[in-house]
Amino acid sequence: MSKELPYIVPSPQSEAEEVFGVHQTAQEFYQEVNTRSEFKQHCEWYHTTAAQNRRDLAKMRGELNIMAWFCRR
């Protein structure tokens, strides 16, 4: 006497959970890519702005300081 094993059919609920799990993972991945891209753009902007500010400071230090005439002690 041989017993037949029943064919296991995945339930619709487990299929839906798998699909939603894959979707959630994909959404998290794209969110991470977007966050890193925005951070990279911010860093590039920051370095560009800092370089410009250093150039402006060097230029201002080379200029004549007129305000010092009014603040003599």
Res 2 pLDDT > 60: no
In this structure, is residue 27 part of a structural domain?
yes
In this structure, is residue 1 part of a structural domain?
no
Res 69 pLDDT > 80: no
Quote the number of domains for the chain: 1
Six token digits for residue 48: 């560009």
Instruction: Please choose, from the candidates 31, 50, 27, 51, the residue with its C-alpha nearest in 3D space to the C-alpha of residue 39.
Output: 31
Res 44 pLDDT > 90: yes
Provide the phi-psi class of 20: left if phi over 0, else alpha when psi is between -120 and 50, else beta: alpha
Model pLDDT, residue 31: 96
Six token digits for residue 9: 């059919």
Model pLDDT, residue 4: 67
In this structure, is residue 33 part of a structural domain?
yes
Six token digits for residue 57: 């400071």
Model pLDDT, residue 65: 79
pLDDT, one tens digit per residue, over 17-31 is 888 889 999 999 999
In this structure, is residue 7 part of a structural domain?
no
Range of the domain at 65: 20-70
In this structure, is residue 58 part of a structural domain?
yes
In this structure, is residue 28 part of a structural domain?
yes
